[in-house]
Chains A and B, each alone.
Chain A
């Protein structure tokens, strides 16, 4: 069964600290993996996309990694800011299934001053 699991479910960190969010998936055949940021009351916005051949992708203070062998991805946030408080969602798409997307339940991140 194609599934995407994220951990932790929620996280609270101090402003300026780093954190890492995890995503494990069983989606096959794998096409790509995206990390989305969803601010409260808004729709998700794409942060990064990674295909099978990529193992690291950065977007400012956000760095995503992908290990296609173990089917794991992580999102590392450096020098966190209050505006990073949001839900981070891992989404995996499969090949040959039209536009079938598999969503994780998200990690709720709270950055406190």
Chain B
């Protein structure tokens, strides 16, 4: 049981390049999330998904796209990277909110992205 895994762990991009971050979970969770974490700020929600084939915008969605083609995978795409997207990206998953306390989020180890 690997929990939540993220690939890659590190990446350096040049401005304008594109890339996809992959998140995978093996806990059969319905909900999946992408966050970014910047110094001095709390985790900010980029996009989330409440189930296979569905996605929704979070607090800071601009410049990012996501897809949830399979229940266990959640992809985060940067079409044209900008220096402002330099950050640490965390993926998380959880059961649905209707499960009460079972809505604990389990986080991946993070991806450190630098955009030059």
Contact = CB atoms under 8 A, between A and B. Distances in A.
Interface string B43-86: 11100101000000000000000000000000000000000000
A50 to B, nearest CB: 10
Interface string A69-113: 000000000000000000001010100011101011110000000
Interface in A18-46: 31-32, 34, 41-46
A43 B109 contact: yes
A98 B42 contact: no
A79 to B, nearest CB: 26
Q: Provide the main secondary structure of the chain A interface.
A: strand
A4 B44 CA distance: 13
B107 A99 contact: no
A102 to B, nearest CB: 8
Interface string B69-110: 000000000000000000000101010110011011111111
B110 A42 contact: yes
A4 B43 CA distance: 12
* Interface size classification for chain A: 20 to 34
Nearest to B30: A99
A98 B97 contact: yes
B42 A42 contact: no
B2 interface: no
Interface of A: 4, 31-32, 34, 41-46, 49, 51, 89, 91, 93, 97-99, 101, 103-106
Given A99-B50, A103-B44, 6 more contacts: A32-B101, A43-B107, A44-B43, A99-B48, A104-B42, A105-B42
